[in-house]
Structure 1
Amino acid sequence: MAIDIIRRDDGSAGDYTASVDGARAGALTYRRTGRWLTVTHTEALPAFRGQGIAYALVERLAADARAEGSRIVPLCWYAREKLNENPAWQDLVEGR
Structure 2
Amino acid sequence: MTAPLIQHQAEQQRFVLQLDGAEAVLDYSLSGNCINFHHTFVPPAFRGKGLAEKLVRHGLAWAKSQQYQLSASCWYVQKFLR
What TM-score range do you get, normalising by the shorter chain? Answer: 0.7 to 0.9
Question: What is the Cα deviation at residue 27 of structure 1?
Answer: 0.3
Map of 2:4 onto structure 1: 3
- Equivalenced residue count is 81
- TM-score, normalised to structure 1's length? 0.75
Q: Helix, strand or coil for the counterpart of 1:3? A: coil
Map of 1:80 onto structure 2: 78
CA distance in 2, matches of 1:34, 1:41: 19
CA distance in 2, matches of 1:66, 1:40: 16
* Percent of aligned pairs sharing the same letter: 27
Out of 40, 61, 71, the position equivalent to 2:69 is 71
- 1 or 2 for the larger relative contact order (CA 8 Å, sep ≥6)? 2
CA root-mean-square deviation: 1.6
What one-letter code is carried by the residue in structure 2 that aligns with 1:63? Answer: A
Question: What is the Cα deviation at residue 81 of structure 1?
Answer: 1.2
Question: What is the Cα deviation at residue 83 of structure 1?
Answer: 2.7
- TM-score, normalised to structure 2's length? 0.86
